[in-house]
């Protein structure tokens, strides 16, 4: 078995830039075509305390996960005609 050179650790997957570009495009389209409302705020009446009700605490561990997941509701810009 041949020993890999030092440069081998810098070689990445050739499809990685495509995947990153695809995620950026998907995120941009979701932000462009929808307005977003917090699920808890949509159930209540709209008030100035919406930002106060968001819990920004992080769970313990290495990752930066939230203790309570942020739930959002997409609201279409366009009215549906039936």
H helix or E strand, kind and range, residue 75: strand 72-76
pLDDT tens profile 25-66:
999 999 999 998 877 655 554 554 555 567 778 888 887 888
Gap between the Cα atoms of 57 and 39, Å rounded: 18
Per-residue pLDDT, 27: 93
For residues 75 and 6, which has the higher predicted lDDT (pLDDT)? 75
pLDDT score recorded for residue 82 = 63
Where are the domains positioned within the chain?
Answer: 35-82
Measured over the CA atoms of residue 19, residue 25, residue 29 and residue 30, the dihedral's sign is positive
Q: Is the pTM of this model over 0.95?
A: no
3-state SS assignment for residue 53: coil
In this prediction, residue 1 carries a pLDDT of 47
């Amino acid at each position: 078995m041949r020993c890999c050179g030092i440069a081998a650790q810098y070689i990445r997957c050739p499809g990685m830039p495509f995947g990153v570009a695809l995620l950026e495009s998907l995120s941009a389209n979701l932000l462009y075509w929808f307005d977003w409302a917090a699920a808890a705020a949509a159930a209540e009446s709209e008030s100035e305390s919406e930002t106060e009700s968001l819990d920004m605490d992080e769970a313990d561990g290495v990752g930066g996960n939230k203790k309570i997941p942020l739930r959002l509701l997409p609201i279409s810009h366009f009215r549906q005609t039936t």
